[in-house]
Chain A
Amino acid sequence: MNTPFIKIEDAVKIFTLHGLAFRRKSFFAIDHVSMEIKQGQTIGLVGESGSGKSTLGRCILSLLRLDGGKIIFRGLKIHNMKAREFRPLRRELQMVFQSPKTSFNPSMTIGQSIINAMCLRTDLSKKAKLEYLIELLNQVQLSPLFAGKFPWEVSGGELQRAGLARALAVQPKFIFLDEPTSALDISIRGQIVNLLLDIQERNKLTYIFVSHDLQLIRYVADYIYVMYMGQIMESGKREELFSYPLHPYTRALLRATLLGREERRQARLQSLKGEVIAYDWSGKGCKLAPRCAEATPKCFEETQFLHTINGRQVRCWRV
């Protein structure tokens, strides 16, 4: 059991912005990211939009091809597989998308969509697929009637549960959850999260849980990676990271989710300035420096590397 379930080594993904030839810009969407995921773990992936969280997920699921580095799934190199070679692995690696409304085909009923996802399961007969569909809907606490409904006929929370049923249809080992609750009302957020955790326990699943909601990540994840502009800024076990956040970026994110008037007022004074502009980085110094409240001239000069302290990784020279 010592080999990690999924291992990401030095992954790099470069995006090029379209424009006139001399204005074309490339930037690192994923900038030398390494991760280890153990079986049964939930990894939390936190960061603002544009920090490369979803891109990383797409690379793991081979929806995008890496420009460098490796992704190893149970000893198998999957980063340079051809689509045909990868296809059997789709049964094991699945994804739940952020917006349930746009990730379902509007001209198919929910049942058709889920059965469509079962096309990888050649072992099942048509009748068995139907039976399994009912069982899946049951698992995500939807009545079998939903199979005949169209995506626009049901609420966001119900559709997100159907999205989960679709991911479960091929009995995966790993699900990449890309902000599964951000499109939902907070009052029903708990429904989805409890369901995800129950299903994980029952089916022994491994999750990467993406969210910018730190309270939620604190609730679900065992180990957390904080990303900014494609780089990992900090990583650590849940309790360590939340009790002693080391990187200024983690601290800024944590402050933004505090409850209470006075706490928030205080926190604002030390919050981040400006916003992420992914392609606007001079190439030297810390990527966060222009926004960091604690930045010194050294931050703009020296490129920061991840260093390990007591089993945690931080990309800041001050720690």
Chain B
Amino acid sequence: MTDLNIQDLQVNINTGQETYYVLRGVTFKVPAGAKLGLVGESGCGKSMTAASIMRLLPKNATIVKGQILLDQLNLINLSEKEMRQIRGKRITLIFQDAASALNPLCSAVQHVADVYARHISLSRKESLHHAYELLAKTGIPKHLAHNYPHELSGGMSQRVMIAMALGCSPEILIADEPTTGLDVTIQTQVVELIERTVEEIGSSLIFISHDIGLVSEICDRIVVMYAGKIVEAGNREQIISGPGHPYTTALLHSFRAQPGKRMPFIPGRVPDLRIRQEGCSFAPRCSLADNQCWHSEPKLSEISPGHEVACFHMDK
């Protein structure tokens, strides 16, 4: 069983003219077998965290600082060749948009068979055999297994992605918004499939989503991100029933619309990642912001066992 430990991860993207500070010191831990949820608006760095763990960052992005420890192994120092032994085998990723993550020239079964051929060096025949089995398990019958990505619906493509990710029984499975763009009814099916298979093979799960309701259903521990930083982390109950950070509170509020009242929302917009703002990055949108928030940056501190919040207004 493997722990994943991320420490003070900082990632910059350099576009040639400007630098975007996408991750600004992210620290969290995924103990073996845990189910962790990463929540936040688009542009908060959820997907960048996943890409850093997989070492699939875009070419113009650099890891400035930090460590990603898979047990004792620091993934950041690995060569591309060594990383290839880990990616897809020990850590796997389910991408956000399955239809465009699949190779349009390969059929569903080829995708899955490739995983076996690459990592376990099975023969072509054996890997195909295993691939059919695995696809059937994820809900794609044999007569659909030869379909190409464009012939599959969104839900079906996502099932192929899941089958690929599970091929080698990974130690850590990262699901990056696996259900956005799917119908609610299909969403339930996909979530159930992920949960069931993760339990079967006993891997840890990092579930990334902007839907805090969905995350609260699947994960035991929830990490809330804002502008490349973690603003709150805690167990499900702590986050859902007693959120500490005003951002988490606002996120939860925007889910609970009451007919007849104004629909709640968070005013303003996601901060510009090019600017390294002094103080708390949520201050411009926060109703509690005062002088202190604008000038010094709050650090994550524990308010109850396992519940960390980065806000000056916690003790008030």
- Residues of B within 8 Å of A245, CB to CB, are none
- Residues of B within 8 Å of A253, CB to CB, are 184-185
**What's the Cα separation between A256 and B179 when bound, in Å?**
13
Q: Is the CB of B265 within 8 A of A261?
A: no
Residues in B268-314 with C-beta less than 8 Å from chain A: 269-270
- Residues of B within 8 Å of A185, CB to CB, are 41-42, 210
Q: Is the CB of B262 within 8 A of A194?
A: yes
**What's the Cα separation between A129 and B236 when bound, in Å?**
53
What secondary structure prevails in chain A residues at the interface with B?
helix
| Contact bitstring A268-281, B, C-beta under 8 A = 1, else 0 | 10011001110000
Q: Report the count of interface residues on B (CB-CB < 8 A).
A: 35
Q: Does B153 contact A (CB under 8 A)?
A: yes
Q: Is the CB of A186 within 8 A of B185?
A: no
- Residues of B within 8 Å of A58, CB to CB, are none
| Contact bitstring B174-187, A, C-beta under 8 A = 1, else 0 | 00000000011111
Q: Does A259 contact B (CB under 8 A)?
A: yes
Q: Is the CB of B188 within 8 A of A259?
A: no
Q: Is the CB of A190 within 8 A of B265?
A: yes
Q: Is the CB of A194 within 8 A of B259?
A: no
Contact of A190 among B186, B192, B257 (CB under 8 A): B257
Q: Does A264 contact B (CB under 8 A)?
A: yes
Q: Does A212 contact B (CB under 8 A)?
A: yes
Q: Is the CB of A256 within 8 A of B188?
A: yes
State which of A7-15, A77-85, A106-114, A213-221 sits at the interface with chain B. Answer: A213-221
Query: Given A48-B183, A252-B185, A259 and B255 touching (CB < 8 A)?
Result: yes
Residue of B with least CB distance to A191:
B265
Contact of A275 among B155, B210, B250 (CB under 8 A): B155
State which of B6-14, B101-109, B110-118, B211-219 sits at the interface with chain A. Answer: B211-219
Residues in B233-286 with C-beta less than 8 Å from chain A: 236, 250-251, 254-259, 262-267, 269-270
**What's the Cα separation between A49 and B270 when bound, in Å?**
29
**What's the Cα separation between A219 and B264 when bound, in Å?**
11
Q: Is the CB of A261 within 8 A of B216?
A: yes
Residue of B with least CB distance to A190:
B265
- Residues of A within 8 Å of B189, CB to CB, are 271
| Contact bitstring A38-54, B, C-beta under 8 A = 1, else 0 | 00000000001100000
Q: Is the CB of B250 within 8 A of A268?
A: no
Contact of B266 among A187, A194, A252, A272 (CB under 8 A): A187
Q: Does A155 contact B (CB under 8 A)?
A: yes
Q: Is the CB of B254 within 8 A of A155?
A: no
**What's the Cα separation between A215 and B257 when bound, in Å?**
8
Distance (whole angstroms) from the CB of A272 to the closest CB of chain B: 5
**What's the Cα separation between A216 and B264 when bound, in Å?**
12
The 6 closest A-B CB pairs, nearest first, are A190-B265, A190-B263, A256-B184, A187-B266, A48-B183, A193-B263
Can you list 30 A-B pairs with a CB-CB distance of less than 8 A?
A: A48-B185, A155-B270, A156-B42, A157-B269, A158-B269, A185-B41, A186-B211, A188-B266, A189-B263, A189-B265, A190-B263, A190-B264, A190-B265, A194-B262, A194-B265, A214-B184, A218-B257, A218-B259, A219-B259, A252-B185, A256-B187, A256-B188, A259-B213, A259-B216, A260-B216, A264-B188, A264-B217, A268-B188, A271-B188, A275-B183
Chain B residues within 8 Å of A, Cβ to Cβ: 41-42, 153, 155-156, 183-189, 192, 210-211, 213, 216-217, 236, 250-251, 254-259, 262-267, 269-270
